[in-house]
């Protein structure tokens, strides 16, 4: 079975869904029952300062001051998800690999204010999911390209550059993906 856990899904021009068009999705879990991932390159209008204020935190770390929460996907958009490294020990965490976890419990928000606890974090509202076999069909239909994930892209690459950075891992530019053909 294909296991795309800890991989990127890179939307191709064939994917016309408005939410997923141009998306880079980090796959957090992929089993025969389906897949779960987070869109990591589509900012929401919610700034991180709102998240910290809502959690009652008085101190907002400088590294999050100008950051935005990502639109993780259409499922449970009222719920927050924190993709982070290291995995740590939280009340509700899905371990993706030995370095990354996705936490939905509030205890991690307080820890984000303590620079030594969580090295890097990306927050999303909502997540993306596929039923068993659905993602494999979409890949076969050329909706997605896949490549092993890279924490440099997740946590250090500017949002607007993440999609192309993932394509670069495949040696592809956006122009190579243009759908349609030219006529002389």
User: How high is the pLDDT of residue 148?
Assistant: 97
Q: What is the CATH number of the domain that holds 55?
A: 3.40.1740.10
- 166: containing domain: 7-78+123-177
User: How high is the pLDDT of residue 109?
Assistant: 87
- The chain-wide mean pLDDT, for the chain, equals 90
User: How high is the pLDDT of residue 179?
Assistant: 55
Is the residue at 44 inside a domain? yes
Looking at residues 134-142, what average pLDDT do you find?
94
**Minimum mean pLDDT range among 28-42, 59-73, 79-93, 147-161:** 59-73
Is the residue at 183 inside a domain? no
Is the residue at 16 inside a domain? yes
DSSP string, the chain: ----TTEEEEE-TT---TTTTT-EEEEEEEETTEEEEEE-S-EEEEEHHHHHHHTT-S---GGGTT-EEEE--SEEEEEEEEEEES----SSEEE-SSS-EEE-STHHHHHHTSTTT-SEEEEEEEEEEEETTHHHHHHHTTSEEEEE--HHHHHHS-GGGHHHHHHHHTT--GGGG--S----
- Total structural domains within the chain: 1
Q: How confident is the model at residue 177 (pLDDT cuts 50, 70, 90)?
A: low
- Taking only the tens place, the pLDDT of each residue in 68-89 is 999 999 999 999 999 999 998 8
- Specify the pTM: 0.92
């Amino acid at each position: 079975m294909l296991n795309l856990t800890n991989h990127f899904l890179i939307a191709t021009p064939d994917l016309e869904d408005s939410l997923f068009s141009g998306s880079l999705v980090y796959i957090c879990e992929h089993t025969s029952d389906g897949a779960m991932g987070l869109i990591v390159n589509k900012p929401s209008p919610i700034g991180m300062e709102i998240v910290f204020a809502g959690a009652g935190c008085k101190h907002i770390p400088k590294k999050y001051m100008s950051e935005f929460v990502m639109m993780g996907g259409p499922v449970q958009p009222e719920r927050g998800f924190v993709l982070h490294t290291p995995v740590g020990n939280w009340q509700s965490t899905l371990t993706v690999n030995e370095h990354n976890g996705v936490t939905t419990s509030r205890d991690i928000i307080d820890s984000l204010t303590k620079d030594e606890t969580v090295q890097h974090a990306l927050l999303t509202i909502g997540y993306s999911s596929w039923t068993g076999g659905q993602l494999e069909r979409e890949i076969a239909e050329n909706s997605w390209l896949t490549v092993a994930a890279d924490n440099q892209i997740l946590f250090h690459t500017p949002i607007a550059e993440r999609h192309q950075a993932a394509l670069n891992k495949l040696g592809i530019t956006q122009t190579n993906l243009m759908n349609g053909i030219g006529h002389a």
